[in-house]
Structures are given as structure tokens and as C-alpha cells.
Amino acid sequence: MGEQQHVKFPQEVVDEYAALGVDLPALFSAGHLGTRMGVQISEASADRVVGTMPVEGNTQPYGLLHGGASAVLAETLGSIGSMLHGGSSKIAVGVDLNCTHHRGVRSGLVTGVATPVHRGRSTATYEIVITDEKGKRVCTARLTCLLRDVRPGDEEFIRAAS
């Protein structure tokens, strides 16, 4: 997903995943889609996830940031927060994503910040605010993830993803 070495994770979380043989920065990325879209995660904890995405290459025919690109950034950030909340015994699966697009952006970098609205045993909901380089709100999103238990065989997939 790009240069993930600069992501700030809480040390206890890094240690928890390292004990399982999992490369945490690689696991908590946007994957192949995020790579193509230029998503970069700069900070990640269950309390706050921050990431950026370039507008260039992620536009619709009118030259504006594509709403789907904002949705990808929002779901990526909210999913990372949900996974960190759930811990290594849970897998976060997005079940509801709502995005309200407030203004168009034609260039530069957008920044998303995900913060928790609800963190339970079986679900986690995050609000994601995406702003342009001037700090103006571009999109407000809400993501709810189901937190399901890791099942036999999931560990192999998780290790392969990292």
C-alpha cells in the first residue's frame, strides 16, 4: 500500500500482532485498491486513524474528486480503526457505509480522520471527516463494521495479507 513505515501505532498493539507473526503496517493498509489510489496511512489507533489520498487520478469526468474515491478513503480509515478496536482476535467487516459529499475538489491532497462513534463487542462505528488542503470539509462519512471472531484458517489469510 505504499510507504507504511511512517504509520504511528500504539506499541502494545504492535507487540500483540508481532507475537502472531503479523506485519501490522502491511495488514492495516488499503491493499491493492489503496495502492492504485495513492492512499497513505499516517496515524492509526482505535481512537484515531489519519490518512491522505491525492485528488489527481481519482476524479470523475468533470475533473472533481470522485465520490467513490472518498468512500474508499473513508472505508479504509474506519476499517483500520475497527480492526484496532477489535484486536487480534477479531476481523472487521464493513456492513454499512454512508457518505455525504459537501464540496468538490479538483486538485491537491485530501485528508481523512476517523474517530469512533461506537465501539462495542460485535460492532464498531466510525465517523470519517475528509478535508481539502485548506481544511474545508469535502465529505462526511460513517462506517459500521461487524467484528467477528477469527475463525480457523483466518490466521493464514491474515499472515498472507501482511
Instruction: Give pLDDT tens digits for 25-38.
Output: 666 656 678 889 99
* Spatial contact of 151 and 95, defined as CB atoms under 8 Å apart: no
Is residue 77 helix, strand or coil?
helix
Q: What is the mean pLDDT of residues 30-55?
A: 90
Per-residue pLDDT, averaged over 58-86, amounts to 96
Choose among 84, 89, 100, 79: nearest CA to 146. Answer: 79
Q: Active-site residue among 3, 12, 43, 75?
A: 75
pLDDT by residue (tens digit) across 96-154?
A: 999 999 999 999 999 999 999 999 999 999 999 999 999 999 999 999 999 999 877 76
Global confidence as pTM: 0.86
The pLDDT confidence band at residue 2, using thresholds 50, 70 and 90, is very low
Whether 75 is a known active-site residue: answer yes
